[in-house]
């Protein structure tokens, strides 16, 4: 049994799911909540999952980081649109020499965390998870769930597989969550953007599911062109994404069940969109290297319009 304690900053569809799985496996988990605090403190968490439903009748629930114990591993599972809260949230809850595990979408989020806390290990996690929060304390896990972990270092220098990563991976694996380890977090993040940028963007802009985007020859072509632009962006960071990876993502999406992307769900629920983390940061990174990602910029501009008008 691990001695490590976990803090979950953001107990939504993602943080709630992984946190509940860790607690169910016997770990000491502390959940930060906002709107669901009263309900969860009283009634716990319910997870409906394709891997089997379960209930946690009692959880350590908090409505304020100041009341939380310092934890060995602090999981950042807020939406990136809430990252302006991190400078207040993170320092009180993370132990000296502890770990901050960033389970967020997009690029450069670990850099932001590194500016806030010292003497911690920062690990990035790329989640392939399809889950929704359907009611207070009630999470519905529909599909997938694996996480790719990579350790962050300044300038995203590849760190290889570190013991710290391995420890976290063991905790998650014991909790029934599939883990892959990557030696190069930044490459992993750019590869995830190959999927996230075209599908999240176009699903919102065109009010479409993945299957509709792939069934029309024009949007299928646009998706592919945007993927190649993401690959060009990765190249400005010295990361190479093989053409075969792009073809695999296209084939994989054609075979997937019709899927409403997470950004489309946010848009439909009138929540703020993660435009800056998923589109703005890659754009700015490439721009700083002298490369203009024109299609991604076009999607960014369209999404900013929709987010500011409808969010």
Q: Which is nearer to a copy of itself, 80 or 203 (CB)?
A: 203
Can you say how many angstroms the Cα of residue 114 is from the centroid of all Cα atoms in its chain? Answer: 17
Q: Which is nearer to a copy of itself, 186 or 222 (CB)?
A: 222
> Residue 190's closest CA among 153, 143, 251, 148?
148
Q: Which member of 192, 235, 257, 264 is catalytic?
A: 192
Which DSSP helix (H) or strand (E) runs through 139? strand 138-151
Q: Which residues bind a copy of itself (CB under 8 A)?
A: 202, 205-206, 208, 212-213, 216, 218-219, 221-222, 225, 294-295, 298, 300-302, 304-306, 308-309
What distance, in Å, lies between the first and last C-alpha atoms of the chain?
44
Q: Respond yes or no: is residue 255 known to be catalytic.
A: no
Question: Min. distance of Cβ 249 from a copy of itself in angstroms?
Answer: 18
- CA–CA gap between residue 260 and residue 282 (Å, rounded): 23
Q: Where are the beta strands (DSSP E) in 103-137?
A: 121-135
In 118-209, alpha helices (H): 163-174, 185-205
Question: Min. distance of Cβ 295 from a copy of itself in angstroms?
Answer: 6
Q: Which is nearer to a copy of itself, 289 or 308 (CB)?
A: 308
Q: Which is nearer to a copy of itself, 171 or 307 (CB)?
A: 307
Question: Min. distance of Cβ 206 from a copy of itself in angstroms?
Answer: 6
**The pairing of beta strand 60-62 with beta strand 121-135:** unpaired
Question: Min. distance of Cβ 35 from a copy of itself in angstroms?
Answer: 30
Question: Min. distance of Cβ 238 from a copy of itself in angstroms?
Answer: 24
**Residue 145 and residue 129 in contact, taking contact as beta carbons nearer than 8 Å:** yes
Report phi then psi at 301, rounded to 5: -65, -40
Distances (CA, A) of 166 to 151, 178, 179, 183: 10, 13, 10, 12
Q: Which is nearer to a copy of itself, 46 or 283 (CB)?
A: 283
Please give the positions annotated as active site.
Answer: 192
């Amino acid at each position: 049994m691990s001695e490590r304690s976990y803090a979950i900053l953001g107990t939504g569809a993602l943080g709630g799911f992984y946190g509940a799985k860790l607690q169910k496996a016997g770990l000491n988990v502390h959940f930060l909540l906002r709107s669901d605090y009263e309900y969860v403190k009283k009634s716990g968490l319910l997870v409906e999952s394709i891997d089997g439903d379960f209930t946690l009748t009692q959880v350590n629930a908090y409505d304020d980081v100041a009341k939380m114990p310092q934890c060995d591993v602090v999981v950042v599972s807020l939406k990136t649109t809430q990252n302006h809260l991190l400078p207040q949230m993170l320092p009180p809850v993370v132990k000296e020499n502890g770990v901050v595990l960033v389970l967020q979408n997009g690029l450069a989020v670990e850099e932001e965390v590194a500016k806030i806390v010292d003497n911690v290990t920062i690990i990035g996690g790329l989640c392939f998870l399809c889950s929704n929060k359907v009611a207070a304390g009630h999470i519905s896990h529909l599909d997938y769930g694996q996480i790719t972990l990579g350790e962050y270092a300044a300038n995203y220098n590849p760190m290889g597989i570190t013991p710290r990563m391995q420890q976290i991976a063991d905790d998650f694996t014991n909790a029934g969550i599939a883990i892959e380890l990557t030696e190069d977090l930044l490459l992993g993040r750019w590869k995830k953007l190959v999927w996230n940028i075209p599908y999240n963007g176009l699903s919102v802009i065109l009010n479409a599911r993945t299957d509709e985007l792939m069934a029309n020859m024009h949007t299928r072509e646009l998706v592919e062109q945007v993927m190649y632009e993401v690959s060009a962006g990765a190249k400005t960071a010295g990361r190479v994404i093989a053409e075969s990876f792009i073809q695999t993502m296209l084939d994989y999406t054609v075979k997937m069940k019709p899927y409403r992307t997470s950004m489309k769900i946010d848009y439909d629920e009138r929540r703020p969109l993660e435009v800056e983390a998923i589109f703005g940061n890659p754009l700015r990174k490439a721009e700083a290297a002298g490369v203009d990602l024109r299609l991604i910029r076009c999607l960014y501009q369209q999404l900013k319009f929709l987010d500011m008008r409808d969010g």
